[in-house]
Structure 1
């Protein structure tokens, strides 16, 4: 079971999508006039006007389950899980509909809700990606639902752009680690598989490695965005252990940390004012990237400049 979260501005487009699939079935609703799509949309729009300043009042969550759980997932059971999920996520006292789809091998349903609640207040989305991960794990444990299997079994041909790159990097790293006992060998093995390994440094002189990132097809990911086990610290400990076992004198990790490989000049974060993580989203891929503990990265030099005063106001 995973949850994929989205926010939007158009109830009409969202309702048209969730009800337009073959054999789409509304499992439950509250505060919404059911009938035609126009009537459903109008119900949401009327409550939206209670707080017109909010630009994205549409809440949309897709709850997807493993095919192994399909025999158990009757309409009533799926509805029970979806409503319990909403309550645990704090989506209460507001309009919603729950729609089940049958167009994929994975049983799934869509929750469309109004982020403007019945009291005209905006539902909080603070740490919602982290809470989503915690809630789905709790429900899987409570009801004995199937956990995800090895990511290497994922059919990447069905994925798009950044998602595909992330899975391909994961598989490349997993394979490269089988034949690498040092950072240099690891980097070479990744290059054979079309993945570039870059080091992120703490200082401009590049004398201390702080983190790593993997690049493929124009996309960049921090190590922990691929897997928690692929952080610089954990990989560094792995290679140091191998080096101590093979030869006490061999210490390529220390050489990288002390900048002995400057001839290769691994780019630092301060070499560019552009954030390499912009535009990358990973909701619902692995554990949500927003829910992981990331390595800290150097502050962008541009952020140290004096910022212009901004007008006071609200932003959503």
Structure 2
């Protein structure tokens, strides 16, 4: 699961009532409301209490007229299969943990889960103004808080572990190489190295059972990885040609260590009359940051890439990667702007580039034209 704060745009007014109605209505195409609840409002806790609850929340917010940003909008995206593991009580408990960790345990809020075919996610709209003290709470370094709670909830409820973007450095046993970091910064797509490190424990477990080079090749093939000699060492390679040092997976995978176990390197041998087994963890280009709106645009991007040879020159440039596509779509689709903002916030954290800001996304867009 990945928890993402949806930052308020400076030019857009803070409209809590509209956000609350959006959560309850699940307005996006193909989505429907799954569960819904309200916290810390005298009006009630259910969807039929929403109108009164929003008026109650607005009454509190109006007592801080000089504050322009009084809403904290959080989206928690789950992996496929997680929905079946969680009851409404579980979802409410997860929401409460985020609220407590952010300092919003006693604050008014509206929360709901949305379903579409591929993306189960939760929206939480916190009123940053405390209903009694009227103190406005803005969490400091909230990305670390969100990452910590996400990992705790995954463990508690047996959910799929998602390294995400907010804690990529903490989850990767080895830091991404400069090459992988540059790839992600320039494409906004997951690098091959991130794919490998995401499945690190599984891969090492399989390699630990291998008795020779051919068995090692078979284990790696299951993750769309090939291993080859390069220079004085070994590299793991993706189908599209990305590479990382084998030792970056683990010290036990260095050329020296593997040679001690399996002898002189042997290339993978084709088995006659036997088809290659399809990878169980295939490496595919995918968005670096997941957001409730990612799927719609990602499908559009993949659809346009299929007919790339038929596109005019400018469109070919825009379809080179996910980043260029979003920058092009920002002219006509506000969802693209939301995703651009999310990517810049995430890259600022993971790639340690504080100079990246939301405003710089507009500069990049104009330079691309």
Q: Does 1:294 align with 2:299?
A: no
Q: Give the count of matched residue pairs.
A: 196
Q: In structure 1, the residue corresponding to 2:152 is in which secondary structure?
A: helix
Partner in structure 1 of residue 148 of structure 2: 134
Query: How far apart are 1:40 and its partner, in Å?
Result: 2.8
Does the C-alpha gap of structure 1 residues 218 and 136 become closer, same or farther in structure 2, counting only changes over 3 Å?
closer
Query: How far apart are 1:216 and its partner, in Å?
Result: 4.4
Residue segments in structure 2 that go unaligned for 5+ positions in a row = 9-13, 27-31, 166-183, 195-237, 246-315, 328-338, 356-369
Q: 1:98 & 1:127 partners in 2: Cα distance?
A: 22
Partner in structure 1 of residue 60 of structure 2: 47
Partner in structure 2 of residue 187 of structure 1: none
Give the counterpart of 1:112 among 85, 108, 125. Answer: 125
Residue segments in structure 1 that go unaligned for 5+ positions in a row = 152-161, 181-192, 196-213, 220-278, 298-316
Query: How far apart are 1:108 and its partner, in Å?
Result: 2.2
Q: Does 1:166 align with 2:188?
A: yes
Does the C-alpha gap of structure 1 residues 138 and 33 become closer, same or farther in structure 2, counting only changes over 3 Å?
same
Q: Does 1:98 align with 2:99?
A: no
Does the C-alpha gap of structure 1 residues 11 and 142 become closer, same or farther in structure 2, counting only changes over 3 Å?
same
Is the contact made by 1:32 and 1:97 (CA closer than 8 Å) also made in structure 2? no
Q: Does 1:83 align with 2:105?
A: no
Does the C-alpha gap of structure 1 residues 141 and 42 become closer, same or farther in structure 2, counting only changes over 3 Å?
same
Query: How far apart are 1:38 and its partner, in Å?
Result: 3.4
Give the counterpart of 1:147 among 131, 139, 161. Answer: 161
Is the contact made by 2:111 and 2:125 (CA closer than 8 Å) also made in structure 1? yes
Q: 2:49 & 2:135 partners in 1: Cα distance?
A: 27
Deviations 1:118-156 (A, max 9, x none): 2111112211123212221232233331023899xxxxx
Does the C-alpha gap of structure 1 residues 92 and 37 become closer, same or farther in structure 2, counting only changes over 3 Å?
closer
Give the counterpart of 2:41 among 31, 48, 51. Answer: 31
Is the contact made by 1:30 and 1:97 (CA closer than 8 Å) also made in structure 2? no
Q: Does 1:4 align with 2:4?
A: yes
Give the counterpart of 2:25 among 9, 15, 20. Answer: 20
Displaced runs of 4 or more, over 4 A? 162-165, 171-174, 214-219
Partner in structure 2 of residue 121 of structure 1: 135
Does the C-alpha gap of structure 1 residues 104 and 79 become closer, same or farther in structure 2, counting only changes over 3 Å?
farther
Q: 1:4 & 1:295 partners in 2: Cα distance?
A: 19
Q: In structure 2, the residue corresponding to 1:67 is in which secondary structure?
A: coil
Query: How far apart are 1:104 and its partner, in Å?
Result: 4.2
